[in-house]
Structure 1
Amino acid sequence: MEKRVHEGGCLCGHVRYRIEGEETLAGSYCHCTMCRRATGGEYEAFVDVKKTDLDWVGVAPPSVYRSSAAATRGFCGRCGSPLFFAYDAGKGISLTVGTLDDPTVFRPIRHDGVESRLPWVRCGPGLPEEET
Structure 2
Amino acid sequence: MTAFHTGGCQCGAVRYRVEGDLDYPHLCHCRMCQKAAGNYFMPLGFAPGRALTVTRGEPGWFHSSDPVRRGFCRDCGTPLFFDTLQSDGMAVTLGSLDHPEAVPPVSNDGIETRVSFHALLGGLPGKQVDRDDLPGGLQSIASTNHQHPDHDTEIWPVEKRI
Q: TM-score normalised to the size of structure 1?
A: 0.85
**Higher normalized strand content (fraction of residues):** 1
Runs of 4+ aligned structure 1 residues displaced above 4 Å come to: none
Matched residue SS, 2:115: coil
Contact 2:52–2:89 (CA<8 Å) still a contact in 1? no
Q: Residues 7 and 36 of structure 1: is their aligned pair in 2 closer, same or farther, counting only changes over 3 Å?
A: same
Matched residue SS, 2:11: coil
In structure 2, how many angstroms separate the alpha carbons of the residues matched to 1:51 and 1:14? Answer: 24
Contact 1:25–1:107 (CA<8 Å) still a contact in 2? no
Once the two structures are superposed, the pairs formed by residues 1-132 of structure 1 within 5 Å of their partners are 2-22=1-21, 26-58=24-56, 60-122=57-119
Any stretches of 5+ residues in structure 1 without a counterpart? 124-132
In structure 2, how many angstroms separate the alpha carbons of the residues matched to 1:80 and 1:54? Answer: 20
Which shifted more, 10-19 or 91-100?
Answer: 91-100
Q: Residues 14 and 51 of structure 1: is their aligned pair in 2 closer, same or farther, counting only changes over 3 Å?
A: farther
In structure 2, how many angstroms separate the alpha carbons of the residues matched to 1:12 and 1:54? Answer: 20
Aligned partner letter, 2:52? L
Identical residues among aligned pairs (%): 37
Matched residue SS, 2:81: strand
In structure 2, how many angstroms separate the alpha carbons of the residues matched to 1:82 and 1:51? Answer: 21
Q: TM-score normalised to the size of structure 2?
A: 0.70
**1:93 shift after superposition:** 1.2
Count of aligned pairs: 120
Contact 2:18–2:53 (CA<8 Å) still a contact in 1? yes
**1:104 shift after superposition:** 1.1
**1:7 shift after superposition:** 0.4
**Higher normalized helix content (fraction of residues):** 2
**1:51 shift after superposition:** 4.0
In structure 1, how many angstroms separate the alpha carbons of the residues matched to 2:46 and 2:25? Answer: 5
Any stretches of 5+ residues in structure 2 without a counterpart? 121-162
In structure 2, how many angstroms separate the alpha carbons of the residues matched to 1:93 and 1:109? Answer: 18
Bigger CA radius of gyration: 2
